[in-house]
Structure 1
Amino acid sequence: MTTLDVRLLGPLEVRIDGEPAAIHGNNARKLLAILLDEANRSVPIDGIVRGVWEDEFPERPIRAARNLVSDLRRDLRPFGDRIAITDGGEAYVCRIDPGELDVLRCKEHQRRAAALRATGDLDGAAQELRAALAAWRGRALSGVPGRLVEAIARGLDGDKLALLEQFFDVEIELGRHQDVLPELRGVVAKHATRQRFAAQLMRSLHACGRSVEALEHYESVREHLADSLGVDPDPELRAVHLEILRADSSAEPDAGEATPAGGIAIAPSTLPPTTARFTGRDEQIRALDQALDASASAAGSAVISGMGGVGKTTLAVHWAHRVAAEFPDGRLYFNLRGFDPSAPETGPGPALGAALRALGVEQHRIPADVEDQTGLYRTLLEGRKVLVVLDNVRDTRQARPLLPASPGSFTVITSRDPLVGLIMGGAAPIPLQELTSDESQQLLSGFLPGGKIDAGSRTAGRILRICGGLPLALSLVGAWAAAHPSASLVSLAERLESTSNILNVFSDKGSSLDLRTVFACSYQELGPRAAAAFRLLGLHPGPDITASAMASLAAIAPDQAAETLRELADAHLVEEHRPGRYTMHDLLRAYAVDRLETGVAQAERSIAARRMVEHYTHTAAEAGRLLALYRESLDFGEPAGGVRMETVRDARAARSWFAAEYQVLRGLVQLRSDEADLEHEPDSDPELDERIWQLAWCLAEYMMVRHRGDDLMAAQSAALNAARRVGNVRAEVVSLGYLAGALRLMGEEAAASKRIDRAVALAEQHGEAWAKAFVLGIVSVYSGRTGGGVGEDGGPGPVAESGPENSVP
């Protein structure tokens, strides 16, 4: 029987019947790595394109991706059919058995080790962990290029470090201190800021009678942490230090030494409020409680999965409040927006940054690299008992860096995807289904003035059947009924049944449910101005909007915009999640897009989109002017009719505005990118393209001084495409310069040099002397800023003058 053996934990290898199989070309090797990282799960074709070709797409990327898959299948014969097309032709999946992939074999050893350790068989656990570690042959995926592959490799190598920590724990429990010392020393030397390894080394040294050496190592680690990260040793390391001091009769604890309990300076609590109408979910709450009970000796997690609108977030937040008292060191909540159809594609970086700031890390001390942010995040949480809620997670890669590792900590993840990768790593699966009929009746009754409906009546049955047990649908219908007490349930049922079913993509396959029917029930009750505004919200990238921005988008007065948003909030079509800022559920945003496409002419949509972008561009320009100590002038012209700029009075207000609108601005820069698929350019709109380039210009300094290289790369890539669409060579050269700066921030010098060369050649070809000087000047500035630096007022610092004033395009 022909055998397959694929290895990612080291150089990429494929063996068929024990013989190496040649995978021809770096792109095919990238593709195989991307597919195997999501083994047995679908990978969208657009994700493959971005992962393989990054920001240099071929002319027809979808066709190129399919051709590459065909090439890889030939290399894998006779196993080529393991790579199959799925999701209606929109994705590929690589099907592989657990014994055929070293990553899966390693996880199986790790699972067995956990089971043996739980039963007290430490020898057996040590053998399984040693077998798991033996799967590594070097750095994961070494030799395979590409940013996405490197991110995958970093995640796999991080798993190895966690595995080593488990192995050393077991060996120390077995009393094999002398045996593990040489290996521990080597690991500590390579990972000097990983404090768990330092604690394990100190314990082993102390057990071997070498307490002085252990105490000296503590001082060395303390100094290194202070110099490199600006933090103190974590509670576990301090506790080991104190244990050694107290055990040594010749030493006394330092007077200023903090106790483990006193080491926690900040206990953040960012959970959103729970709902008073929470209904049912008794079985799932018991499962979450059981998973929490099992996390006493190791960090625990649970994945709440289910379709959109089924109540995943509500359950997670309700349970988090229920057990909050058990986590004295903090309760953190992050909405990762993984399934928001209009959100820019993001990794864990924004949430990591927010977490570090919540834990007291100053902005200038937050590392630029996501891997370093993850290390600092876990260092700060080491020894702390914290609860983390990760909401709307798209995939395992997005969640993994945000998982705390300390025993007693717990993470609740919500996703429409089951996240098999996390479950394989030990997360408890909590699948969520629709509410039962009794639970649906109870939830809907909570909205009605009488507090009860007759479930046995035909009318109630019709409403409950149409809602299909979805809490979101039931809540929308209930809110409508509560807001219209004079309307009968019969009229409500007739309205639901008569509304056309058009949101089929979010249908419950087990019933006739259509969420558009529910959304339309609220939408049709809006006044003309609010209905028009709701449709135009389909243009806005989210995650939230202010009355001022709504005024520009809809070309209405600010007070009318505020009134309109309140009307939409009353109808539960938007939510005021922070004072003055309104957000939408992703399903409602999808519905707004549908209303936009069916109810607003293309010409009107284009005009509204330009108003929206101009609102943010002109305000960003003013905010940037207040923050920058020097900035070349840029003529933005006059705002279009109907645009209402926000008032930014001083530098403090400018900083607050940028911080509040940052996610919106990132999404707007990608607006034209989102209009196109990977094989078609968006419709011609040169005015909008010019504004998008200008907005990216306004954001460049803000991103650079905050070391947001990935964001700068995405924004300037979109700006570059916009400049090319309108034929603005000078703008194209400037964007290439900023792209080079982004790559330098990310430590990719070779790629940065290519952008510089391309920009200089283009400038020389078209006689753009100023643009050439700008690129060379901006490169110099970015070279000096890779180590950090903001202006004296906390905003962007000065940009080196690289050409004559008043000549930016």
Structure 2
Amino acid sequence: MEHDESLRFEVLGPLRATLGQSELDLGFPQQRALLALLLVRAGRPVPAGEIVAALWPEGAPASAMNIVRRYVGSLRRLLEPGLPPRAPGRRLSRGADGYRLETAEDEVDLLRFRGLTRRAKREAATGRPEPALRHFVEALDQWRGPVAAGIPSPARDHAVFAEIERELVRTTVMAADAALLCGTPEHVLPHLGRAARLDPLNESLHARNVLALAACGRQAEALAAYESVRRLLVRELGVAPGAELTAAHTRVLRQEVRSAPRKRDLARPAQLPPEPKQFTGRQAELDSLRTAADSSAVLLTGMPGIGKTTLAVRWAHEAAERYPDGQLHMNLRGFDPLNAPLTAEAALRFLLPVLGVPGHRLPSGPDALAGLYRTLLSGRRMLLLLDDAFDTEQVRALLPASPGCLTLITSRRGLSGLVAAGARPLPLDLPSTADALAVLARHIGRERPAADPAAAQEIVAHCGRLPLALAVVAARAASHPGLPLAAVAAELRRSQGSLDALGDVRTAFAASYRHLPDDAARLLRLLSVGCGPDLTADAAAALADLSVRAARRLLDELADAHLVDESAPGRYTAHALLRVFAAELDRRP
């Protein structure tokens, strides 16, 4: 059997050291104090002067340094049995900057605590409270009592030990926040009670304790805990509880504190809109979506009416079986002609009940809502369709942290912030002429375009291959099956210079236009002036009486809104129907 010679140190409680299976006798009280000081600074030098001040806070004898050197020698031999006399050893060394104890993270409970806390913070920062909570609880489990218990009181009063206790309290507060988000406050209640005894006047800590007790169904104890700390604050400091503790008390009184539901109790939503029956074409885009499915987020962008939502819904139905925990859909109303864009908080208040959280259990505030939402999605495989996004901030809080989820976002804007955060962009272009003809045939049947292919071609041309315009014209043709396509084409020909025959297209363009700043809106209106098939920043500057720099900025803004397209570096074009829309705007009195 292999002999275990591993060293282990404990300082988050009674000071202990073991070598293999044997506990070491750490010697005289002041020698124990020296080891404790070296352990809490493990891997860093402790100046000799600090050691002397810690061991003899009321005044050191003249022989203090000789005594310290004797203690150091004794500890070296204790930690490295068989070390020759006067040998420096590898564990405890002395340099010009002081004495240093070398240890690995797994050898000292304090270092394990700090390593686990760092991992927990990283998980919490990425919206993953469940793994964060596991690391926090494992870190706090290293804590067994008063730090460095058993060393002489004067040395135990050194500031370094008090700072570690404050560190333990701060970690307990963070652990409580994660536990409340996860709906498992029982995991931290013992640690909260111990931390509260350690720092009885810490109101943030007591606020978490009150909320955790209430979330465990122990409302009477929560109210009693609040009353106890309230009296203590009045007695010791002469002050009433502050805003944070008072708010926790109010939430308990109003019975607003509830545990989050367990994942096994969650609903399996299936919220996708119906699959579009008239969908055709877009094979290249569907192939791109299939390869993008390994991403955590895909952003579909394009001009108004280009078919972003139709494509997203079509592909979401195809991919749904890959996400067995369900599908969520939210219309963010970014460019709704009648309503303001949804806030992230409002969207979360719609989505969380779909995931099984009763309305009366929803926390208050956007951060708490987002944390609960990510908690519920953690470890699940779900598909989210966030349609018609207005800006990055509206979407950011709705992105799950779970790697098993896919978020499909549609927007008229480029949302560069989402792309920078890792969303895979998929800009949509106009369909080919062949695909546009297929869309028309899918709506009205193949017989009529086959009977008059020239008229069908003319309709597609007048619609500029824009899917929304094709759908509007096809709906009119389908509702009048006896109307020749040549008559439909003639009607479009007569309405050139106006969108009267394409009212839904005008509405879609107007929804984007109304969100433009005044200077960008003015430049869009000026695009109706005959300035060729495309224009440069120089041409736009002359057209709008602006500096070239200002014109380039406005063109980039219009391009981000997909109201113009940078067809080549520095050259911008606008869709023919958008030019008609701009002309209508320019003719307004």
TM-score by length of 1: 0.34
TM-score by length of 2: 0.46
Structure label with greater radius of gyration: 2
